Homo-oligomer: A and B are copies of this chain.
Amino acid sequence: MITIKEIAKLANASSSTVSRFLNDSGYVSDEARKRIEKVIRETGYIPSEHAKSLRTKQTKVIGVIVPRLSTDTSSRLVNAINDELAEHGYQIILANTNLSPAKEIENLKLLRSRQVDGIILLATNVNEELIREIRQLPIPLVALGQEIPGISFIVNDDYGAAKDMTELLITRGHKKIAFIGVPEQDRAVGYFRKKGFMDALQEKSISICNEWMAEANFDLSSGYEAMKTILQRTAQKPTAVFAVTDSIAIGAMHYLMEIECHIPKDMAVVGTGNSRVSQYIKPSLTTVDFSNEDMGRKAAKLLLHHIKETNGEPKKITMTYSIIKRDSV
């Protein structure tokens, strides 16, 4: 590999001058500029980022930790983050946790050793150890999707969205509404969405039947199973079902179709997240759009802000949402 020294020699200058030329810092005469430019063009010289980083403590790389990349939400978020960061000359290095909390911490360390300038963490379940690890991080971190006390985060208005959506169902005349959630460890999806649902019912004095509440994990088949469980154990069939994610909703719809329960005539279904699939299935799914694109860009901007202002206060941003009315209600 060709180095700055060799460029300097070929251009009849010192490496200091070449460096000043490269970074546009300090004086370089026009003649020297021309000579250096020529040599660089001819040799195809590309400066080593490692040597640079070692000296400057800046890497222009941001670490992004995601639970898994192959989901709609993750890939849209990462795409938006990348677009925004690229505009500011940053690249991203990916770390995939495959939903394992241990890997979340391991990745945090890995990224630290690469001296990334900052980290964006797409959090799922937040535990004590993770918070401790984040706190002692020497670089800024922005969490997405979950509230983490003391650090900057961006969350969706999970509570408001779930409440609004439930109210929509009530407005349409539904009184017997089933609910398929996920474990409450996941504060955002498990706890807040459930709370929004419950509060909406309570405000309208609509009773909640335990038989209509089921728990799934994040995948489609678990939505299918949850719907099955609900309908098989209850005598009084609900007229609508609220699912905390689109995948769960689509799984539930599959079961309903299987037993020839018509959507929305016999049973209304709503999801959450506005996955790409949701608009192409039949009937198209009424859901909540959280604008991942916007969230990703905001996250990138917030992180860049923290990188600039190292002593900036932690910020909490709550994204707005919109209800997408389609044919499943």
Chain B residue nearest in CB terms to A53: B50
Contact B78 A69 (CB under 8 A): yes
Query: How far does the alpha carbon of A83 sit from the alpha carbon of B98 in the complex, in Å?
Result: 9
Q: Mark A133-155, 1 if CB is under 8 A from B, else 0.
A: 00010100000000000000000
- Decide if A32 is an interface residue (CB 8 Å cutoff): no
- Decide if A277 is an interface residue (CB 8 Å cutoff): yes
> Which of A85-93, A297-305, A311-319 lies at the interface?
A85-93
Contact A113 B46 (CB under 8 A): yes
Other CB < 8 Å A-B pairs besides A68-B79, A83-B96, 14 of them? A46-B113, A47-B113, A48-B54, A48-B115, A50-B50, A61-B114, A69-B78, A70-B76, A74-B75, A86-B96, A92-B93, A92-B94, A94-B94, A281-B282
A277 to chain B, nearest CB (A): 5
Contact A49 B96 (CB under 8 A): no
CB contacts (< 8 Å) of A93 on chain B: these are: 61, 91-94
Q: Which residues of A contact B (CB under 8 A)?
A: 1, 44, 46-51, 53-54, 59, 61, 68-70, 74-76, 78-79, 82-83, 86, 91-96, 98, 109-110, 112-115, 136, 138, 250, 276-277, 280-282
Query: How far does the alpha carbon of A291 sit from the alpha carbon of B233 in the complex, in Å?
Result: 39
A74 to chain B, nearest CB (A): 8
Main secondary structure of the interface of A (DSSP, over half): mixed
Query: How far does the alpha carbon of A54 sit from the alpha carbon of B281 in the complex, in Å?
Result: 52
Contact A280 B250 (CB under 8 A): yes
Contact A91 B110 (CB under 8 A): yes
Given contacts A46-B109, A50-B50, A280-B280, contact A69 B91 (CB under 8 A): no
29 residue pairs from A and B, CB less than 8 Å apart? A1-B138, A46-B109, A46-B112, A47-B113, A48-B115, A49-B114, A49-B115, A50-B53, A50-B114, A51-B54, A54-B54, A61-B93, A69-B75, A70-B75, A74-B75, A75-B75, A78-B94, A82-B94, A82-B96, A83-B96, A86-B96, A92-B93, A93-B93, A250-B280, A276-B277, A277-B280, A280-B281, A281-B282, A282-B282
A40 to chain B, nearest CB (A): 12
CB contacts (< 8 Å) of A78 on chain B: these are: 69, 94
